[in-house]
Amino acid sequence: MRNIRILLLVLLFGLFIGCSKDSDDSIEKEEKVVDKSANLQGTGDSANDILSNDKFTKLLIEIAYVDGFEPTEEAMESFVLFLKERTFKQDIELKYTKLESPDEENLTLEEIAELETDNRTVYNDGETLAVYIYFSDAPAEGDDEEVGLVTLGAVYRNTSMIIHEVTVRKLAAQRLFVTDADVENSTLNHEFGHLFGLVDLGTTPVNDHEDVVRDENGEPILDEKGNTSGNSHCNVDGCLMLAELQFNGGFTNKSSSLTSKGTNAITSACSLSGNSLLKLLDSKTAKNGLPEPPNLDSECLLDLKNNGGR
């Protein structure tokens, strides 16, 4: 009889432990639910959060790259230095994620966003602000190499960016003294400038220095009332955010929304032009003997400081 009681106690104890474990597992699963909404906003919406330490003190950047298309170590070191010089984030971590190729001839923004949904692993958490940068083995849809219209990179959300690494490498190979790292660094810095909210894309300009949307001949495009529209790029010659660096004319919709009204189409705040970037690097090379990434002009720097940056 005594043995039966002991056996019953052991069984009851085991059942209690099992239930407790199931309960703990359920709690753990609930705790693992990630709120992604803060990372799915419009370009520039997190400008102050990136620039200042008011809400987030750490910057975690996921470098997701297709196998064989990892960015150069030199470019990433320069990129981190750029961020530390322009923001108050001194705790910056790079997390590398190697991915398989999607086997696409080219990529639309919608496809890029879908790949992010499938592969992104970092999101805002506590005092850590997370950014996702995808280095692709496919060019952008609409590229025309014959006429020199190629896109190096684009931003399409407040913490999301695409770098067309395959295009970066092809472009760098066209110049003897321009390296992959030179083009990578300039592209990263320019696109991240838009995540900083430049120009008037979440960070309000102290002084007006925004260029206007132009046609293929470089002439300002007027609306039905005869007014021009800003294109979220700088009008100061030599600036990292120069309007001429933008692909095919300019960004016309300043809404922070990711989608056009009535559609599900994701829009880009900027698609960086390959040819114009090469021209800028060429001009830097001619002046200094070695190519170097363009810098932000005094007006852009003033805007960043006014919105919580250095």
State the CATH number of the domain containing residue 202: 3.40.390.10
Per-residue pLDDT tens over the stretch 228-274: 888 889 999 889 998 776 644 333 334 333 333 333 457 787 777 77
Instruction: Count CB neighbours of 214 within 10 A.
Output: 17
Residue 89 one-letter amino acid: K
- On whether residue 69 sits in a domain, the answer given is yes
Contacts of 260 (CB under 8 A, 6+ apart): 253, 267
- On whether residue 2 sits in a domain, the answer given is no
Alpha-carbon span 310 to 301, nearest angstrom: 8
Burial (CB < 10 A; 0-12, 13-18, 19+), residue 181, is buried
Q: Are strands 58-66 and 160-163 parallel, antiparallel or unpaired?
A: unpaired
- On whether residue 5 sits in a domain, the answer given is no
Mean pLDDT of the chain: 84
In this prediction the pTM is 0.83
Question: With contact defined as beta carbons under 8 Å apart, do 166 and 139 qualify?
Answer: yes
Per-residue pLDDT tens over the stretch 109-167: 999 999 999 999 999 999 999 999 999 999 999 888 777 678 899 999 999 999 999 99
Query: What pLDDT does residue 220 have?
Result: 84
Instruction: Count CB neighbours of 291 within 10 A.
Output: 23
Query: What pLDDT does residue 282 have?
Result: 75
- On whether residue 231 sits in a domain, the answer given is yes
The fraction of the chain above a pLDDT of 90, given in percent, is: 58
Domain count, the chain: 1
Residue 240 one-letter amino acid: L
- On whether residue 153 sits in a domain, the answer given is yes
230 vs 195, higher pLDDT: 195
Question: With contact defined as beta carbons under 8 Å apart, do 114 and 142 qualify?
Answer: no
- On whether residue 112 sits in a domain, the answer given is yes
The fraction of the chain above a pLDDT of 70, given in percent, is: 78
Alpha-carbon span 226 to 289, nearest angstrom: 44
- On whether residue 32 sits in a domain, the answer given is no
Alpha-carbon span 250 to 253, nearest angstrom: 9
- On whether residue 30 sits in a domain, the answer given is no
Alpha-carbon span 211 to 109, nearest angstrom: 24
Per-residue pLDDT tens over the stretch 88-113: 999 999 999 999 999 999 999 999 99
Q: Answer whether residue 68 shows pLDDT above 60.
A: yes
Q: Residue 133, CB half-sphere, CA atoms under 13 Å: how many?
A: 26
Instruction: Count CB neighbours of 200 within 10 A.
Output: 19
Enclosing domain of residue 285:
37-306
Cα angle: 208, vertex 210, 213; to 5 degrees: 140
Q: Residue 230, CB half-sphere, CA atoms under 13 Å: how many?
A: 17
Q: Answer whether residue 20 shows pLDDT above 80.
A: no
